[in-house]
Amino acid sequence: MKAGFVALVGRPNAGKSTLVNRFVGQKVAIVSDKPQTTRHRIVGVRNANDAQMVFVDTPGIHKPLHRMNQRMVDTATDALRDADVVVLVVDATGDPGGGDSFVVEMLTRANVKPIVALNKIDRVPKSKLLPLIAHYAIALSSPSIVPLSALDGEGVNTLESEIVQALPEGDPLFPDDYLTDQTERTLAAELVREKVLRHTRDELPYTTAVIIDRFEEAAEPGGLTRIFASILVESESQKPIVIGKGGEMIKRIGTEARLDLEKMLEGRVHLDLHVKVRGDWRDNIRLLDEMGLRGR
Ligand SMILES: Nc1nc2c(ncn2[C@@H]2O[C@H](COP(=O)(O)OP(=O)(O)OP(=O)(O)O)[C@@H](O)[C@H]2O)c(=O)[nH]1
Ligand SMILES: [Mg+2]
């Protein structure tokens, strides 16, 4: 039996959360086409092939301009320290740039030899893949490199074999029905934020956070769960964007999040959303702590 922690790290938008969801077989991390979607550490477990892989999804590594972003990047670097295996997830649709070199240097400094997952090959011609493989082979002095698509699953089995091979021998760290450390409360906040990310653009995805004010569990299985949440924005001018014309946007966000939540909770959900202005939330220690964005 093999068991251990597998950290997924890389630049924002590379596909780390998509990959963790595929490995777990369930949505434990929200996904969007906007960078910096994941803001905290997310554990998702996979039991297969005589191994327990404890995946740790991390925020994308970027230049931090707010306290929130510093905590995000710290979360990613801390995950390296605790990992038995590190997977560097790379978006293979672009050419390697400064951000990619920064991540490679960080791994080298930390003395980490990652497995490289070249992701999104469903959108990359084979001719573009070879130079990229050569680039990472040189930059990280011949690591194992696996081209794959987290979206359609191609190559994911190969990555899994590489991970299992690299894991230490050991007993499982969690019971085999344990899938994630994310509470229903956190997942509820995240699913609302996912819909905000999906429907807004420009600075809104970065300046929005979701806080659960009250979470009333269903009295019986399949019963009604009542969730009261606040969507935080940074300025009065952002409020009408989230609310939309005649409340159309907030209604759409609420409906889509509620449908996801009803599936997750296997019961009816009453979701009550409010938009609040909190000018400094990205630098507000109390709010960041409350959101589970832990500092060092
Ligand atoms: N075409 C394609 N798109 C993908 C693939 N994997 C992920 N994506 C898309 O890439 C975008 C980012 O995916 P995420 O999983 O949120 O990326 P992430 O690395 O977790 O991003 P952060 O949380 O911001 O660091 C989403 O729009 C995904 O649907 C893939 O294999 N192929
Ligand atoms: Mg993510």
- Alpha-carbon separation of residue 213 from 6, 188, 195, 274 (angstroms): 33, 11, 18, 10
- Distance (Å, rounded) from C-alpha 215 to C-alpha 65? 32
pLDDT at 295: 83
Give the per-residue pLDDT at 189: 98
Distance 35 CA to ligand 1 centre (A): 9
Q: Which two tokens stand for residue 5?
A: 């922690």
72 CB within 6 A, ligand 1: no
- CB of 75 within 6 A of ligand 1: the answer is no
Q: Is the CB of 186 under 6 A from ligand 1?
A: no
Name residues with Cβ closer than 5 Å to ligand 2, which is an ion. Answer: 16-17, 37-38
Q: Which atom of ligand 1 is nearest to the CA of 59?
A: 25
Tell me the CA–centroid distance for residue 16 and ligand 1, in Å: 7
Q: How far is the CA of 219 from the centre of ligand 1 (A)?
A: 37
pLDDT of residue 296: 85
pTM of the model: 0.98
Enumerate residue ranges in the chain where pLDDT < 70: none
Backbone angles phi, psi at 123, to 5 degrees: -120, 15
